[in-house]
């Protein structure tokens, strides 16, 4: 995408990146003998709860505009604090245009000086839930995210990024980024979350809930590097893993990712594979993910991701209940799927449908969880997002059905 000036107004024109060569890696996933396919008539249920990388770079925006996540974010692997381009894009492309012109800030900037800038993400959730086995109802308010980002330019190519993450969970991020490697490359050192997989902004999606990166957590101490030979992006990292910020053991966590994007006329394409292997704490955890997205005419986006999970880590889920983990250290082979469709109804309004699937033990027949979601994302003016959502979850292992009604409020800079 390039940004053109026209009578003082910025206009966003997508680059024509040409045809993206599709590729597949045979035997990336070993599915075992179990075939997974169910058909149901339910089409209701909840949208994505957002905890950004978190805040996460939203995959649908990346696909819709045919741009990598780093185009809008200070972090070169995407997510978190928005750069100037990301702020301009949010103000001029995402909100209801008439309301943005009337109520939006015309000359808004998060720059404190030429060397220091800030950003923020605040998410507040109100929810009502009913469940069976046992029958119960609950409702609550929950401050999901209270992030305040600071970015200090040390030189033209080196910066210090800080996010104390005042909200729940230990999500502190502090790292140095040096954009000094060839082919638009960088190296990052400090405490950060390895950018494994697609990273949808629904932290309750099974592709995230069943991994250490649920709740926008998974921050680890280590070194990350990346290269960007267009249209490809290659990233890798070596960290202390889940063992802690200070770990003297030789076993580490290793991460790798390859991603590409391009276009065929009005069709934008995005695809990638990612792997995370952690043996740092004695237990083992291996994640392998393949994902892709297709956007038509910058309006309809379909996203799909498949996560293969293996190991005996206590961080692994054992069913759809996010609080129940693999505390006994059982060796498990698991599968998580997510398919999402987003349609831009009008300026500032997106309609969403999503399907989630989780099999906590593919070696055992039966016992899985499915979730159907639907909802609206509404951005009246830049910096304000409201998401009403409804979702239905069925867990045959727990013999439990859950219905959730959520309203999420998101304030961002």
d(CA 221, CA 186): 17
Q: What is the pLDDT of residue 206?
A: 87
Position 224 scores a pLDDT of 96
Rg of the chain taking only CA atoms, in angstroms? 21
Candidate ranges 62-71, 100-109, 263-272; pick with highest mean pLDDT: 263-272
Strand partners for 374 = 353, 390
- 338: pLDDT confidence band, cut at 50, 70 and 90? very high
Higher-confidence residue of 86 and 361: namely 361
Is the model's pLDDT at 355 over the cut of 90?
Answer: yes
pLDDT at 14: 38
Q: Where is 3: in which H helix or E strand? A: strand 2-6
Contact assessment for residue 191 and residue 161, using Cβ atoms and an 8 Å cutoff: no
Mean pLDDT of 83-105: 84
Angle value at C-alpha 228, between 302 and 51, nearest 5 degrees: 50
For 198-202, 354-358, 361-365, which range has the lowest pLDDT when averaged over its residues? 198-202
Partners of 309 in the β-ladder: 287, 334
Check residue 57 and give its pLDDT. 56
Greater confidence (274 vs 167) lies with: 274
Tokens of 200: 């949808």
Question: In which band, very low, low, confident or very high, does the pLDDT at 51 lie, cut at 50, 70 and 90?
Answer: very low
Distances (CA, A) of 298 to 48, 345, 348: 20, 11, 14
Mean pLDDT across 102-131: 90
Q: What is the mean pLDDT of residues 151-169?
A: 90
Question: Would the pLDDT of 12 be above 70?
Answer: no
pLDDT, mean of residues 64-83? 84
Closest CA to 53 of 117, 141, 121, 110: 121
| Side-chain-side CA neighbours of residue 227 (13 Å) | 7
Mean pLDDT, the chain, whole residue set: 82
Confidence of residue 11 (pLDDT cuts 50, 70, 90): very low
pLDDT for the residue 200: 74
Selected residue with higher pLDDT from 8 and 392: 392
The arithmetic mean of pLDDT across residues 251-277, rounded, is: 94
Instruction: Average the pLDDT over each of 89-98, 123-132, 135-144, 252-261 and give the range with the smallest value.
Output: 89-98
Predicted pLDDT of residue 80:
86
The number of beta carbons lying within 10 Å of the beta carbon of residue 184 is 15
Q: How many angstroms separate the first and last alpha carbons of the chain?
A: 22
How many other CB atoms sit within 10 Å of the CB of residue 356?
24
Banded pLDDT at 107 (limits 50, 70, 90): confident
% residues pLDDT > 70 (the chain):
85
Q: pLDDT tier at 350 (50, 70, 90 boundaries)?
A: very high
State yes or no: pLDDT of 94 exceeds 90: no
Least confident range of 187-201, 317-331, 335-349: 317-331
pLDDT class of 25 with cuts at 50, 70, 90? very low
pLDDT at 315 over 50: yes
> Could you read off the pLDDT of 187-204 as tens digits, one per residue?
999 999 888 988 777 777
Is 283's pLDDT higher than 90? no
The distance from CA 44 to its chain's CA centroid, rounded to whole angstroms, is 22
Q: Summarize pLDDT for 209-221 with one digit per residue, the tens.
A: 888 887 677 889 9
Percent of the chain at pLDDT exceeding 90: 52
Please tell me whether the overall predicted TM-score, pTM, comes out greater than 0.85 for this model.
no
Q: What is the mean pLDDT of residues 49-75?
A: 67
232: how many CB neighbours lie within 10 A of its CB? 16
| Residue 320: Cβ within 10 Å count | 25
DSSP classification of residue 92:
I
Of 11-15, 67-71, 331-335, the range with the lowest mean pLDDT is 11-15
Question: In terms of pLDDT, which residue wins out, 37 or 283?
Answer: 283
Does residue 383 register a pLDDT over 70?
Answer: yes
Residue among 339, 338, 326, 319 at smallest CA distance from 396: 319
Q: What are phi and psi of 211, to 5 degrees?
A: -125, 170
Instruction: Name the phi and psi angles at 243, rounded to 5.
Output: -75, -15
Which domains are seen in the chain, by residue range? 42-412 (2.40.160.10)
């Amino acid at each position: 995408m390039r940004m053109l000036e026209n009578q003082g107004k910025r206009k966003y024109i997508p680059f024509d990146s040409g045809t993206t060569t599709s590729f597949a890696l045979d035997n990336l996933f070993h599915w075992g003998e179990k075939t997974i396919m169910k058909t149901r008539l339910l089409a209701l249920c909840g949208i994505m709860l957002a905890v950004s990388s978190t805040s996460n770079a939203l995959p649908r925006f990346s696909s819709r505009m045919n741009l990598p996540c780093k185009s809008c974010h200070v972090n070169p692997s995407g997510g978190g604090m928005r750069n100037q381009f990301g702020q301009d894009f949010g103000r001029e492309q995402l909100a209801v245009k008439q309301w943005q012109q009337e109520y939006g800030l015309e000359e808004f900037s998060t720059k404190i000086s030429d060397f220091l800038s800030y950003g923020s993400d605040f998410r507040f959730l109100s929810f009502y839930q009913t469940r069976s086995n046992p029958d119960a109802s609950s409702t609550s308010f929950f401050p999901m995210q209270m992030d305040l980002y600071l970015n200090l330019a040390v030189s033209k190519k080196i910066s210090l990024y800080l996010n104390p993450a005042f909200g729940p969970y230990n999500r502190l991020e502090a790292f140095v980024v040096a954009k000094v490697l060839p082919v638009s490359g960088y190296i990052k050192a400090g405490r950060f979350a390895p950018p494994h997989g697609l990273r949808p902004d629904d932290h309750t999606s099974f592709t995230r809930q069943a991994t250490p990166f649920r709740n926008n957590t998974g921050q680890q101490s280590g070194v990350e590097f990346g290269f960007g030979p267009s249209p490809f992006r290659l990233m890798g990292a070596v960290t202390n893993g889940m063992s802690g910020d200070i770990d003297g053991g030789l076993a580490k966590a290793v991460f790798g990712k390859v991603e590409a994007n391009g276009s065929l006329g009005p069709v934008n394409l995005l695809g990638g594979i990612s792997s995370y292997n952690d043996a740092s704490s004695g237990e083992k955890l291996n994640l392998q993910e393949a994902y892709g997205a297709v956007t038509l005419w910058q309006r309809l986006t379909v996203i799909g991701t498949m996560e293969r999970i293996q190991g005996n880590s206590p961080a692994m889920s054992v069913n759809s209940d996010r609080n129940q983990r693999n505390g006994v250290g059982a060796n498990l082979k698991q599968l998580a799927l997510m398919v999402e469709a987003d349609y831009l109804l009008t300026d500032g309004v997106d309609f969403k449908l999503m399907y989630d699937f989780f099999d906590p033990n593919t070696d055992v027949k039966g016992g899985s969880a499915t979730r159907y979601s639907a909802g609206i994302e509404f951005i009246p003016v830049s910096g304000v997002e409201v998401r009403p959502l409804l979702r239905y979850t069925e867990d045959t292992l727990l013999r439990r059905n859950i219905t959730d009604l959520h309203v999420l409020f998101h304030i961002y800079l």
